[in-house]
Structure 1
């Protein structure tokens, strides 16, 4: 069945806007693709469509314009969201320090038939499903249609826990877009987890539908519901399964991750290091759907198997689904892009070759003859790090895919790696290593970049070729920038500072800095204009 709108009640939304703004939207005559209207005090009103944006007036928004809208909508809740009764539209407010609303985002809500077709077979299995995607990808629209199909067509008892009245609309009478499903409103966003449990205990549902699971309490409530045999269909913000796995708040939804120390015999049998990452528990959601766009999704039909495969550095079982212009759904198995090895501590298989590759962000190696080198014939090295970060060194080893292991006893080492200041102090262990003929390699600083270059020298690699060559020739600039970024990340994670602004850098270095912040689940943004554009790192 092709995707069709049931109703978007767009005229009711336009009626709440100042006449000049609503008239401009009507004249644009593209209401089917309208996503939201933005009104900020002292700025031009703006309409955002799929694929483009449009200024609606040459007159700046005034306080009277904002008040005009507020008087025609429902009351704002604690989450600064309001609605229009019997519609799915959402109006979100931005307040100043005095609590006065100075900005509005009027988001168009639509009930759409046919969106569930792309995952209908998964819904009919009765297993719990998690919809993952960025804001604006249609998670709530798909969730609403799923609730309707479960209630109307599959005749199940469905209860929707509707925190912001976004699924079933504002007011006490739910929007017809949810069909026979029942809706429980949540008085305060912080109470969502309690209402989830109340829904199960009081109303005997077969299915619970939840939008935007975002806290540990909500994740724990979801697990409790799933353990009672109730089917869950929920959404969470995120890009990919990999992001969810390293999210400390929500990783329990896919089983969580824990470090396990193996015995010597088991580590040899598996061909891994002694400390490995494993899934902690059965996933709360059996199926995960990454929503990439309105008509394209990535499906993981067995979350437990997918998580286990990722932790082993293997391709997880998944398939790509997309809907063509005629509404026909196509499926095809895919091999996912490889993930960032250091993010999960990927294991090595027998023979020292890494089972998970780095993909786009990892360096490719060339031997002295200039040919690409994926396996190395050099003898394996046992590295004793003296004053060098073991985690960073392990990441460098994994990125370069060289046959090297880190040892904790100097007697087992075939080489020592240390920092310049430790070497100058001429410690007893370093003198002992040199007396025994063990080579000592001295790093300028404690960065992954320095370690990679030293390993490249050890294993006679002619060069490191990155996917995007740096637009400058000064390698020390990169090292200095990455060292500064690592220090900033440490300060934010340890709570020493809430946010850190880094030194202005080129676009290439800023991209590397953003990637580092993302690896540690921190937020980052670029601020200012070139040549003073810089990265800010914060929680």
Structure 2
């Protein structure tokens, strides 16, 4: 049996991005994007961009340092005083990635340089209750947020449904983080960014949404499954500019909301984070066939991961099986 790819992968362009992706104090490191496509394909597929890990770079933000400090302070307020002080005193405070709190274990703050213990005392039930009391309700995917910020709080539950762990991820809107994609964005190309969790895919598509809405005056609709692109609460974060945002009641309905966005709101661009199921991939293909620009992300390390994923391979043309004939 032979496997034939209708989309042989040709490396069209390789960008080497030296723009920082986090605040200015981070030493710049190289950040590569690889764009794959096929010049002769007629399939409704999108260019695929692979982000190499890690994306711990920085770029000038559209927000003042005071505004960034206020938003970070709202996340740190979830922590007891001693933990909050130790995080605040860390030299990499502005590059804080997330705080991990697991019942009975010492809490950790994660920075680009590694994990840092922020208390010698294990997390108690009271510590977790203190944090959860200050965030919105956890959805069916065990995610919650802090109103009008980009931070995400994810819960771990025991078999009885009690929360016994929290991952508090810092969210930042970074102006200029999508500058290397400007030519693709401007000419109306659909984009799919793939990479492992934490490399900055959501940060970039948020900036792409803002760029399309504000700079190119497009009608942009964000389908925001976990409120991670536009922030928690009913009023979107200013980081998405004038783009509109549709919230999704639960992740199982994401593909339906995608189609609803197209049919009800006449967008020129759809932005969506984390395409992960076959139904979502089919909806994305339908959107591309209708001539609507699609900007999306998916988890993966290499382009081969995407091709061999039966739920997502249609995004890059799919895999066809051809039997040899005598």
| TM-score band w.r.t. shorter chain | 0.7 to 0.9
Is 2:81 the counterpart of 1:25?
no
Match of 2:195 among 133, 140, 155: 133
Q: Deviations over 1:306-330 (max 9, x none)?
A: xxxxxxxxxxxxxxxxxxxxxxxxx
Match of 1:152 among 200, 203, 214: 214
Q: Match for residue 147 of structure 2? A: 85
Match of 1:237 among 299, 306, 312: 299
After TM superposition, give the deviation of residue 40 of structure 1 in Å.
0.2
Q: Distance in 1 between matches of 2:317 and 2:301?
A: 18
Q: Distance in 2 between matches of 1:105 and 1:239?
A: 22
After TM superposition, give the deviation of residue 185 of structure 1 in Å.
0.2
Q: Deviations over 1:421-457 (max 9, x none)?
A: xxxxxxxxxxxxxxxxxxxxxxxxxxxxxxxxxxxxx
Q: Match for residue 27 of structure 2? A: none
Q: Match for residue 289 of structure 2? A: 227
After TM superposition, give the deviation of residue 15 of structure 1 in Å.
1.4
Is 2:240 the counterpart of 1:178?
yes
Q: Match for residue 24 of structure 2? A: none
| Pairs within 5 Å for 1:395-414 | none
Q: Match for residue 123 of structure 1? A: 185
After TM superposition, give the deviation of residue 245 of structure 1 in Å.
0.7
After TM superposition, give the deviation of residue 187 of structure 1 in Å.
0.5
Q: Match for residue 131 of structure 2? A: 69
After TM superposition, give the deviation of residue 262 of structure 1 in Å.
5.1
SS at match of 1:223: helix
Give ranges in structure 1 of 5+ residues lacking alignment: 265-539
Q: Distance in 1 between matches of 2:153 and 2:61?
A: 21
Q: Deviations over 1:209-229 (max 9, x none)?
A: 010000011001101111111
Q: Match for residue 339 of structure 1? A: none
Compare the two structures and name the one with the higher helix fraction: 1
SS at match of 2:62: strand
Q: Deviations over 1:371-418 (max 9, x none)?
A: xxxxxxxxxxxxxxxxxxxxxxxxxxxxxxxxxxxxxxxxxxxxxxxx
Q: Deviations over 1:279-336 (max 9, x none)?
A: xxxxxxxxxxxxxxxxxxxxxxxxxxxxxxxxxxxxxxxxxxxxxxxxxxxxxxxxxx
SS at match of 2:280: helix
Q: Distance in 2 between matches of 1:195 and 1:161?
A: 7
| Pairs within 5 Å for 1:421-436 | none
Whose RCO is larger (CA < 8 A, sep 6+)? Answer: 2
Is 2:292 the counterpart of 1:253?
no
Q: Distance in 2 between matches of 1:240 and 1:129?
A: 16
Q: Match for residue 162 of structure 2? A: 100
SS at match of 2:99: strand
Q: Distance in 2 between matches of 1:128 and 1:151?
A: 15
After TM superposition, give the deviation of residue 236 of structure 1 in Å.
0.1
TM-score (norm 2): 0.79
SS at match of 2:97: strand
After TM superposition, give the deviation of residue 263 of structure 1 in Å.
4.5
Q: Match for residue 111 of structure 1? A: 173
Q: Match for residue 28 of structure 2? A: none
- C-alpha RMSD of the superposition: 1.2
Q: Deviations over 1:441-492 (max 9, x none)?
A: xxxxxxxxxxxxxxxxxxxxxxxxxxxxxxxxxxxxxxxxxxxxxxxxxxxx
Is 2:104 the counterpart of 1:42?
yes
After TM superposition, give the deviation of residue 49 of structure 1 in Å.
0.3
TM-score (norm 1): 0.48
Q: Distance in 2 between matches of 1:62 and 1:89?
A: 23
After TM superposition, give the deviation of residue 21 of structure 1 in Å.
1.2
